[in-house]
């Protein structure tokens, strides 16, 4: 029988955008040095966009974290990687069907080919499924055009975890989920994957200081953000659950890194790192501890379905707009046949713009519709399962 053992898990969004992120090379070296300290057993990193940065971190931490995997995806790479003290036996990456917009170059999420990565790790004869993810960013909370994408990414991640963790003795998800605890995407993920938030456990004592992004102590937080919300946003998480052969108890939760890199005036990233320690006991046949709050699950799934319906209507409007603009540009091209030659150099530009509008109205629009429909149909299956389980629950009869 395995003795109780402690497992230390860290997650950090490294803010490693080449040519954009400030002090990137110096911060990556500092992150590698911190990981080489030996404090952590499993590390989930996000926004490691440059392979050279991953190599630097991997090589620097290799004496204590000898096993690692980078999940390549999309145009720029997923930015997601996992480092481990223990052997990685299998890996898998699932790219989300809806992932931002190709024409929103200034946002860039689509180019990352975002998804959820899985590393299966064996630790003292126990199988630990470690997932790392980075959901689509929220650029405007008041008018969030990506809410459907993020909700469906959360549902897709929950389904991926649910379908791949059947034999696991422990499940860990670390990452920047770009969603706060009151948001629908957060609830969809936790309820459908039956995960626990390490922050909500009794070991997270001083909860007022646990914002993980745009916090007052971070050197990269703009003054405007500090005035608006001094504690920042909690969007980085360590989520977990136990399996059938292991009992998992959380020992501690903290933001372990100092406000600035030692000897420097800047922070490790524009995000804070999150660390959780767990005690794992091998108990033979433990209960996986799935949540049975069917009413809450049903409400959350119904809200997600409403988000999908709104997104499909919006995509339909976009299709009409792109076709109207394509027709307008075609009429301009026809009219230019009868005008003087002086403006004919504009023909290639207008033709290219018209082709772009047609591409957006057809190929791209179909891709987004199919991605949303895939998520919606999956949600409907989940809702049917929940309602069936709900109907089978016997209601106690009250004697009067």
Q: Are strands 170-176 and 126-134 parallel, antiparallel or unpaired?
A: parallel
The per-residue pLDDT for 222 is: 94
pLDDT digits (tens, 9 = 90+) for 317-364: 999 999 999 999 999 888 887 776 566 678 888 899 999 899 888 988
pLDDT of residue 1: 45
User: Of residues 271, 282, 290, 318, which has the active-site annotation?
Assistant: 271
Candidate ranges 100-104, 229-233, 272-276; pick with highest mean pLDDT = 272-276
Do 120 and 163 meet the contact criterion of CB atoms below 8 Å apart? no
Q: Return mean pLDDT, the chain.
A: 88
Residue 291 has pLDDT above 70, yes or no: no
pLDDT at 11: 98
Cβ within 8 Å of residue 220, ≥6 positions away: 15, 22, 266, 267, 269, 270
Average pLDDT, integer, range 116-128 = 92
**Lowest-confidence range among 41-55, 104-118, 220-234?**
104-118
Nearest Cα to Cα of residue 102 among 132, 80, 76, 138 = 76
pLDDT at 208 over 70: no
66 falls in which pLDDT band (50, 70, 90)?
Answer: very high
For 101, the 3-state DSSP assignment is coil
> pLDDT-derived band of residue 2, with 50, 70 and 90 as boundaries?
low
Residue 206 pLDDT exceeds 70: no
In degrees rounded to 5, what are phi and psi of residue 151?
-65, -45
Q: pLDDT class for 292, splitting at 50, 70, 90?
A: low
Residue 230 has pLDDT above 90, yes or no: no
Contact predicate 33/59, CB 8 Å: no
80: left (phi over 0), alpha (psi -120 to 50) or beta: beta
Q: In this predicted structure, which of 45-49, 139-143, 289-293, 368-372 has the lowest mean pLDDT?
A: 289-293
271 is catalytic: yes
Given a cut of 90, is residue 81 above it in pLDDT? yes
Least confident of 41-45, 73-77, 135-139: 73-77
Domain positions in the chain are 5-282, 292-392
Q: Is the pLDDT of residue 395 over 60?
A: no
Total-model pTM: 0.84
The reported pLDDT for the residue numbered 140 is: 83
- pLDDT value, residue 188: 95
Share of the chain above pLDDT 70, in %: 92
For 361-389, the pLDDT digits (tens) are: 898 888 888 878 877 888 888 888 888 88
Average pLDDT over residues 160-166: 94
Residue 271, pLDDT score:
97
d(CA 362, CA 348): 21
C-alpha to C-alpha distance for 353 and 328, rounded to whole angstroms: 11
Angle at 141 between CA 140 and CA 144, to 5 degrees: 70
The answer, yes or no, to whether residue 394 has pLDDT greater than 50, is no
CATH ID of 5-282, from 3.30.9.10, 2.40.50.140, 3.40.640.10, 3.60.10.10? 3.60.10.10
Share of the chain above pLDDT 90, in %: 58
Continuous segment of H or E residues that includes residue 238: strand 236-242
- What is the rounded average pLDDT of the residues 13-34? 97
């Amino acid at each position: 029988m395995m003795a109780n053992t402690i497992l230390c898990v860290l997650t950090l969004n490294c803010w490693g955008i080449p040519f954009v992120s400030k002090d990137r090379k110096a911060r990556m070296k500092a992150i590698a040095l911190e990981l080489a300290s030996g404090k952590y057993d499993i590390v989930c990193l996000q926004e490691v966009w440059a392979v050279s940065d991953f190599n630097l971190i991997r090589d620097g931490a290799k004496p204590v974290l000898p096993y690692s995997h980078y999940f390549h995806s999309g145009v720029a790479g997923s930015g997601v990687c996992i480092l481990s003290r223990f052997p990685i036996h299998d890996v898998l990456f699932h790219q989300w069907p809806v992932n931002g917009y190709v024409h929103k170059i200034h946002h860039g999420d689509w180019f990352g080919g975002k998804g959820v990565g899985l590393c299966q790790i064996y630790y003292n004869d126990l199988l630990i499924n470690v997932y790392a993810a980075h959901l689509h960013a929220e650029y405007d909370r008041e008018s969030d055009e990506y809410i459907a994408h993020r909700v469906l990414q959360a549902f897709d991640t929950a389904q991926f975890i649910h379908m791949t963790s059947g034999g696991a003795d422990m499940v860990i998800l670390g990452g920047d989920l770009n969603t706060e605890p009151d948001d629908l995407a957060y609830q969809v993920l936790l309820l459908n994957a039956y995960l626990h938030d390490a922050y909500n456990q009794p070991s997270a004592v001083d909860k007022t200081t646990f914002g993980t992004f745009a916090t007052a102590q971070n050197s990269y937080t703009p003054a405007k953000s500090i005035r608006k919300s001094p504690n920042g946003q909690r969007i980085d998480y360590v989520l977990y659950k136990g399996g059938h052969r292991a009992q998992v108890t959380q020992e501690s939760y903290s933001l372990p890194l100092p406000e600035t890199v030692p000897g420097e005036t800047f922070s490790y990233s524009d995000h804070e790192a999150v660390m959780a320690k767990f005690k794992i006991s091998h108990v033979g046949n433990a209960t996986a501890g799935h949540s049975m709050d069917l009413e809450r699950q049903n409400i959350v799934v119904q809200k997600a379905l409403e988000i999908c319906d709104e997104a499909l209507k919006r995509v339909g409007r976009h299709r009409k707009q792109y076709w109207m603009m394509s027709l307008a540009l075609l009429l301009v091209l026809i009219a230019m046949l009868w005008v003087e030659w002086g403006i004919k150099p504009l023909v290639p530009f207008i033709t290219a713009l018209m082709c772009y509008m047609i591409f957006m109205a057809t190929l791209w629009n179909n891709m987004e519709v199919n991605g949303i429909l895939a998520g919606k149909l999956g949600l409907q299956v989940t809702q049917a399962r929940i309602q069936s389980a709900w109907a089978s629950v016997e209601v106690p009869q009250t004697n009067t």
